[in-house]
A = this chain, B = another copy of it.
């Protein structure tokens, strides 16, 4: 029998009508939202009634680009040039990762997601079976992006991944993709295009993360990564790109025509000095926008509050205009935008029949007071310590600082620490 939960006595940001707030109640029934509206005399018996006490109920954040299991590399190699960071520190350790590592390091990331109000991730990394299992065991929702390319030469894994993971579990889905143009042969891209047409499926990849990557692609192919993918039919069924820092106007033409999604990762792009994505231009032109943290090795946090804030203020700096990039656009991109980018259209807003992927934001913490404008509070002063509850598919996985993910959190931390030490002890 499914569980009935009632949320009442707070503000609701449904995202189904822009950023307007509404009063009233939300009921969840099992994994779904059952009712949104005023209190009713004919309310059913609830299994639990949650008094919001004036707090905010809203859809959870969607982390639309990440490499979750890279938690083990957090603060391991900071303040290094991009090349030495990647080749000297990251790649040698990644080469030794086993499915067991991925399982535990992913659980650590899921804890961080939940503590920051994130209810779904769009992940690209190694050992997708172990990765999917960690998500299933925690009750967390994820979209796996195929990561074939230089470090994963098993092209066939894309076809198997698509059919297998898309029917494995309601919490798991799978998208076609490759790591990036610069790690993919033209033969691989053509194979991916064929698969995309066979499945009528969107295609994703890292795209224009750095100037060097984009210039390299132009040198190799006479085209940007976006133009190359388009020319090979990879975007015939949609998709998008991670990062999109160096997207050109011609690239944006393609993004708009194909309805592609740009996933901005401002913290990672800043820390690795990759640049500032042209978000104002994208928003003005109507490019679909989502937000991601990228992996914890380059961020180093998995915190959508930080990403929204940073995206806005970097635009203001870049445009030399304090009015540039209003907060609301990024709040939408980080929630409903991300859901739609990831193909999670049933997780985008609070409405009957949608998935109950919800968070409660504590508005009584000092950084949220007084309240002039809740969306602006979320973007400009909000922080992870405002997350009172995180619910995925109707299950409360995090509440008042505690995790309910089927395994003792202390055990996960201890296991992750032990595995990390073992990996690193081989590195010296």
- Cβ of B316 and Cβ of A270 under 8 Å apart? yes
Stretch from A246-254, A255-263, A409-417 at the B interface: A409-417
- Cβ of B85 and Cβ of A370 under 8 Å apart? no
Contact residue among B71, B309, B364, B401 (Cβ-Cβ distance under 8 Å from A369): B71
- Cβ of B271 and Cβ of A316 under 8 Å apart? yes
> Known: A271-B316, A273-B316, A317-B270. Contact between A377 and B74, CB under 8 A?
yes
A384 contacts across to B, CB distance below 8 A: 367, 383-385
> Known: A316-B272, A373-B75. Contact between A367 and B302, CB under 8 A?
yes
> Known: A75-B373, A301-B380, A384-B384. Contact between A112 and B273, CB under 8 A?
no
Minimum C-beta distance from A351 to chain B (A): 26
- Cβ of A322 and Cβ of B273 under 8 Å apart? yes
The chain B residue with its CB closest to the CB of A321 is B273
> What sequence of 0s and 1s flags, for each residue 53-75 of chain A, a beta carbon within 8 Å of any chain B beta carbon?
00000000000000000011011
A352 contacts across to B, CB distance below 8 A: none
Contact residue among B72, B309, B366, B416 (Cβ-Cβ distance under 8 Å from A108): B366
- A313–B371 Cα gap in the complex (Å)? 30
The chain B residue with its CB closest to the CB of A301 is B381
- Cβ of A300 and Cβ of B376 under 8 Å apart? yes
- Cβ of A115 and Cβ of B79 under 8 Å apart? no
Q: Which of A245-297 contact B (CB under 8 A)?
A: 267, 270-273, 275-276, 296
- Cβ of A79 and Cβ of B323 under 8 Å apart? yes
Minimum C-beta distance from A402 to chain B (A): 12
- A70–B72 Cα gap in the complex (Å)? 40
Contact residue among B78, B112, B276, B312 (Cβ-Cβ distance under 8 Å from A373): B78
- Cβ of B108 and Cβ of A377 under 8 Å apart? no
- A410–B53 Cα gap in the complex (Å)? 12
- Further 8 A-B residue pairs, CB within 8 A, beyond A75-B381, A275-B317, A310-B310: A79-B322, A108-B366, A108-B370, A300-B377, A306-B309, A366-B409, A366-B413, A372-B424
Chosen A-B contacts, 10 in total, with CB atoms closer than 8 Å, are: A74-B370, A75-B376, A79-B312, A80-B323, A273-B321, A275-B317, A276-B317, A299-B380, A300-B377, A370-B416
Which residue numbers of A lie inside 8 Å of B, CB to CB?
A: 71-72, 74-76, 78-82, 85, 108-109, 111-112, 115-116, 267, 270-273, 275-276, 296, 299-303, 306, 309-310, 312-314, 316-317, 319-327, 364-367, 369-373, 376-377, 380-381, 383-385, 401, 409-410, 413, 416-417, 420-421, 424
